[in-house]
Amino acid sequence: MVNRSVEIWEKCLQIIRDNVSKHSFRTWFEPIVPLDFKNNTLTIQVPSTFFYEFLEEQFLDLLKKTLHKVIGPDAKLEYHVLLESSSDRPQTIKLPGGDRPNLINKPIQMPMNLDPEAIVNPFIIPGIKKLNVDPHLNIDYNFDNFVEGECNRLARSAGYAVAQNPGGTAFNPLFIYGGSGLGKTHLAHAIGIEVKKLHTEKVVLYVDANKFLTQYMEATRNNNRNDFIHFYQMIDVLIVDDVQYFSKKEGTQEVFFHIFNHLHQHGKQLILTSDKPPVELNGMEQRLLSRFKWGLSAELTEPDFDTRIRILKKKTYKDGIQIKEEILEYIASHITNNIRELEGALVSLLAQATLNKKEITIDLAKDMIDKLVKSTRREISIEYIQKVVCNYFQLPVEVLSSKTRKREIVQARQIAMYFAKNMTKASLASIGATIGGKDHATVLHACKTVNNLLETDKRFKEDLMEIEKRLKM
């Protein structure tokens, strides 16, 4: 007699096959094993927590629609997740109505006495089994080019101390945080470059968090997950940039947790950067956040006027260009909150003067800066959108990050997501993470809901138009 779950899953696969690519079908659906079906609940077995996480993020809508079509409107899905290298029984993760559950995390068992020559390096062509690590450091981002000021003195001093004695200071991990364009990546590279200069035997590696996520995904697909973990466990100084992108990635957080623990316990140095301090990172496991706080958290803030002047002077000196002091002062007094924009303004001024064969004068600087500042002012941040929406509905901004399901709060959150998608360049994932710690699917659903209400609810449309007017003031 055919297992009822097998019969139902075969019908689901027929629908899924027509809605995804052949590669996606082979990678993400063929490995699934149907286990049981009762009370309108289909139980399936998936190979790993990451596999479950990826299905939820990429194919949730497809799974829900397919199950509703095959089973009916009361269909539910339940996962059995196999834990790799563990003698424990597989854990059961229930998914009623497509809601995301909290995963139960268990340790991954690691074989001891590994041969470095046998580990796959995820940074090189798969199959070349040799630990020969390019540190991926930008030589232009060094301490010589890093201008110190009150805005970065603590972080710079701590970073230099770490470079002198990696793994041997109280600054482990060194967690560097601050807004975009304030020099986090520059400082992280500078530490790595200094370590390589002073400790040539150390294996140093810089990796962007998104690169780490991509590598982990590939390793899981290719059944090289343990190799991936072991590779990172053999690094002496690991620099991970923009760790906020680990938010809501339970499988990635789990594997990074074990890498972090191993490196820290063996006296290796970890350097992490983020746009927020650990306490403000949403969608992160508490056990990982607590480890981020073990060492030193150092903030990079907006540079003061004197620091901005010194940054501009260093840039012109490096490029062999002479510009009058009053012009540099004009630029520094009008571009105030971002080092990247500050340097970009100087580059734009030089480009205009060169291309138009004009002398660099204060009038040229004023004309260029005025246009740049006006353009910058038109940019709207997600934080500003949340503030305007909450002010309109007379709600505290904090409620958008709460778990309450009150209608007025849910609707305010959806409206904030709608405007963030339409008025900023932020990704759906970034919008969701900032507004309530949600995922990209929630943002898409919010935008769809707002668009539907715009067409059917006159009062709602009036509210939205008024909020939009306030945002553009």
102-106 contacts, C-beta under 8 A, 24 or more apart: 103/49, 103/52, 103/250, 103/254, 105/49, 105/250, 105/254, 105/257, 105/285, 105/287
Percentage of the chain exceeding pLDDT 90: 24
Pairing of strands 269-274, 237-241: parallel
Q: Is the pLDDT assigned to residue 102 strictly greater than 70?
A: no
pLDDT top residue among 102 and 356: 356
**What is the number of alpha carbons within 13 Å of residue 105 lying toward its C-beta?**
19
Closest of 107, 120, 82 to residue 230, by C-alpha: 120
Q: Residue 259: which pLDDT band, with cuts at 50, 70 and 90?
A: very high
Listed by start position, the domains of the chain span: 4-98, 135-300, 305-377, 382-471
For residue 338, the Cα-to-chain-centroid distance in whole angstroms is 20
Q: Name 270's bridge partners.
A: 238
Question: Which residue is associated with the tokens 């070349």?
Answer: 128
Distance (Å, rounded) from C-alpha 109 to C-alpha 434?
Answer: 34
Q: Which pLDDT value is given to residue 315?
A: 79
Closest of 81, 78, 105 to residue 94, by C-alpha: 78
Q: Which pLDDT value is given to residue 84?
A: 42
Q: Would you call 374 exposed, middle or buried from its count of C-beta atoms within 10 A (0-12, 13-18, 19+)? A: exposed
> Of 258-262, 361-365, 453-457, which range is least confident?
361-365
Distance (Å, rounded) from C-alpha 53 to C-alpha 252?
Answer: 9
Phi and psi at 253, nearest 5°, equal: -60, -40
Q: Is the pLDDT assigned to residue 95 strictly greater than 70?
A: no
DSSP state of 455: H
Residue 35 near residue 45, CB atoms below 8 Å = yes
pLDDT top residue among 453 and 91: 453
The H or E element that residue 232 is part of is helix 225-233
Distance (Å, rounded) from C-alpha 283 to C-alpha 470?
Answer: 30
What is the CATH superfamily name and number for domain 4-98? DnaA, N-terminal domain (3.30.300.180)
Alpha helix ranges (H) inside 41-130: 49-70
Say which CATH class 305-377 falls into: mainly alpha
Instruction: Classify domain 135-300 by CATH number.
Output: 3.40.50.300
Cα dist from 352 to 40, 345, 465, whole Å: 67, 11, 39
Residue 247 near residue 138, CB atoms below 8 Å = no
> Of 92-96, 202-206, 330-334, 440-444, which range is least confident?
92-96
98-106 contacts, C-beta under 8 A, 24 or more apart: 98/60, 98/63, 98/64, 100/56, 100/439, 103/49, 103/52, 103/250, 103/254, 105/49, 105/250, 105/254, 105/257, 105/285, 105/287
The CATH fold assigned to 382-471 is: Chromosomal Replication Initiator Protein Dnaa; Chain: A; (1.10.1750)
110-114 contacts, C-beta under 8 A, 24 or more apart: 110/85, 110/226, 110/229, 110/230, 110/233, 110/258, 110/262, 111/226, 114/230, 114/234
Q: List the 91-95 sheet strands across, edge first.
A: 33-38, 41-46, 76-81, 91-95
Residue 446 near residue 417, CB atoms below 8 Å = yes
Q: Which pLDDT value is given to residue 162?
A: 94
Greatest CA span in the chain, whole angstroms? Answer: 88
pLDDT tens by residue, 271-293: 999 988 888 888 888 889 989 98
Q: Which residues in 421-459 are b (16+ Cβ under 10 Å) and which e?
A: bebbebebbbbbbbbbbbbbbbbeebbebbeebeeeeee
Q: What angle do CA 241, 169, 183 make, to 5 degrees?
A: 30
Alpha helix ranges (H) inside 401-457: 407-423, 428-434, 440-456
Residue 132 near residue 121, CB atoms below 8 Å = yes
Q: List the 296-300 sheet strands across, edge first.
A: 204-208, 237-241, 269-274, 174-178, 296-300
For the chain, the average pLDDT equals 81
Q: Which residues in 181-215 are b (16+ Cβ under 10 Å) and which e?
A: bbbbbbbbbbbbbbbbeebeebbbbbbbbebbbeb
Distance (Å, rounded) from C-alpha 348 to C-alpha 148?
Answer: 24
Q: Which pLDDT value is given to residue 373?
A: 62
Distance (Å, rounded) from C-alpha 309 to C-alpha 322?
Answer: 14
Q: Is the pLDDT assigned to residue 1 strictly greater than 80?
A: no
pLDDT tens by residue, 127-153: 434 456 789 999 989 998 898 888 888
